Amino acid sequence: YKAKKGKLGYALYDPSMHAEVLERLRLENDMRRALEEEEFEVHYQPKVQLTTGAMTGVEALVRWRHPERGMISPGQFIPLAEDTGLIVPIGMWVLETACRQAKEWEALHPDSPPLMMAVNLSARQFRHPSLMEDILAALQRSGLEPHKLQLEVTESVVMDNSEHAIGVLRELRKLGVKSAMDDFGTGYSSLGYLKTLPLSNLKVDRSFVKGLGDNAEDSAIVRLVVDLAHTLGLKVTAEGVETAEQVAHLKEMGCDLGQGFYFSRPLASEAMTELLEAGVPLSGTV
Ligand code: C2E
Ligand code: MG
Ligand code: MG
Ligand code: MG
């Protein structure tokens, strides 16, 4: 094809762009139907207390079982869901499903420490006017106690509109719901600002955990985040833990929790139920 250049110098008609737009439209259409058709699933990944190897929580991670395309990961549809606003009903469904599941699993898990259910919130969900109402509704309908729910938000979500963010985090705290800053270190948090945020957990981004041991800078950053979190009275979770060596470094640094393929991949609810029934620590390094 021959791209036609307009006055502004960009292609007015570009077949490849056309295909992209069509693809987006198709995906958006499919997504609108997917909730009704019950094509979404929530998978759960363990969070492990590094000193004991005990599972103390799980993170809910949404997947889309598309009838023609197979399993679609959130990275491939959350951004579009965010753009179209569909993330709000999808996110509400995830929240309620995760709360009900946590309530079901309580019977399989010793209550001390409680099994925490962590759910991700995107920017649009976080600033949606019905957020608090939706959270309360999910807690009430499931019967889950608020302190067993943790909401994960990224730095950009919190930094975007910090006044509003502080307000939301305060309300969550009043409810007794926990909150975590996700992917910490990848955004633009002001460290001074961090101390004013009513958070309960910092999650060190996996890009830093990756280099633990081999990379002096990454190791220094992880150590810094662990110390910073503890100084601020927060627990710290390392994400993307893949090797025993990383576990050893994290334990030496005093990191509280680990999450990653080393312990377990995200599991469908049936597989997670089996893991909870087995009740064994997830690390052989107790
Ligand atoms: P996240 O919240 O940082 O979740 C962790 C991601 O890292 C998950 O990817 C998980 O499968 C992956 N992961 C865990 N351990 C390892 C590891 O050892 N190595 C590597 N390479 N990866 C690991 P996933 O499930 O594809 O989710 C990607 C992102 O999509 C999440 O990042 C989160 O931001 C978003 N997301 C997932 N579920 C939801 C949801 O229900 N609502 C919203 N708003 N966002 C969601
Ligand atoms: Mg997360
Ligand atoms: Mg994360
Ligand atoms: Mg991440």
122, two tokens? 């995107």
The mean pLDDT value for 57-64 works out to 98
CB under 8 Å to 55, separation ≥6 — which residues? Answer: 46, 47, 48, 49, 109, 115, 275, 276, 281, 282
Residue bearing the CA closest to ligand 1, atom 22: 240
Please indicate whether residue 65 or residue 1 has the higher confidence score (pLDDT).
Answer: 65
Give residue 9's pLDDT.
57
Instruction: Give residue-wise pLDDT tens across range 161-195.
Output: 788 899 999 999 999 999 999 999 888 777 888 88
Element (DSSP H or E) covering residue 38: none
Give backbone dihedrals phi and psi of 171, rounded to 5 degrees, phi first: -65, -40
Q: What is the pLDDT of residues 115-143, one digit of tens each?
A: 999 999 999 999 999 999 999 999 999 99
Question: Does the complex come out with an ipTM higher than 0.90?
Answer: yes
CA torsion 52-226-115-131 (nearest 10°) is -170
Q: Name every residue whose Cβ is closer than 8 Å to that of residue 93 and which is 6 or more positions away in sequence.
A: 35, 40
Centre of ligand 2 from the C-alpha of residue 152, in Å: 5
Nearest CA owner, ligand 1 atom 30:
74
Q: Which atom of ligand 1 is nearest to the CA of 266?
A: 11
Please tell me the number of the ligand nearest to residue 262's CA: 1
Task: Give the per-residue pLDDT at 285.
Answer: 44
Residue whose tokens read 């377990």: 264
Give residue 136's region: left, alpha or beta (phi > 0; psi -120 to 50).
Answer: alpha
The percent of residues in the chain predicted with pLDDT above 90, rounded, is 77
CB 251 within 8 A of CB 51: yes
What are the tens digits of pLDDT across the range 63-109? Answer: 999 999 999 999 999 999 999 999 999 999 999 999 999 999 998 88
- Ligand 1, atom 33: closest residue by C-alpha: 120
Residue of 208, 209, 203 whose CA lies nearest to 183: 203
Query: What DSSP element (H or E) covers 163?
Result: helix 162-175
Span from the CA of 273 to the centroid of ligand 3 (angstroms):
23
Give the pTM: 0.93
In the numeric block, which tokens belong to residue 205?
């981004």
Q: Tell me the ligand closest to 126's alpha carbon.
A: 1
Ligand 1 residue neighbourhood (C-beta within 6 Å): 45, 61-62, 73-75, 78, 87, 91, 94, 120-122, 152, 182-183, 206, 239-242, 260-261, 266
Give the atom of ligand 1 at the shortest distance from the alpha carbon of 121: 44
Q: 13 C-alpha vs ligand 4 centroid, how far in Å?
A: 36
- How far is the C-alpha of 274 from the C-alpha of 263, rounded, in Å? 15
To test the pocket of ligand 1, the residue of 35, 61, 124 to mutate (highest count of ligand atoms within 8 Å of its CB) is 61
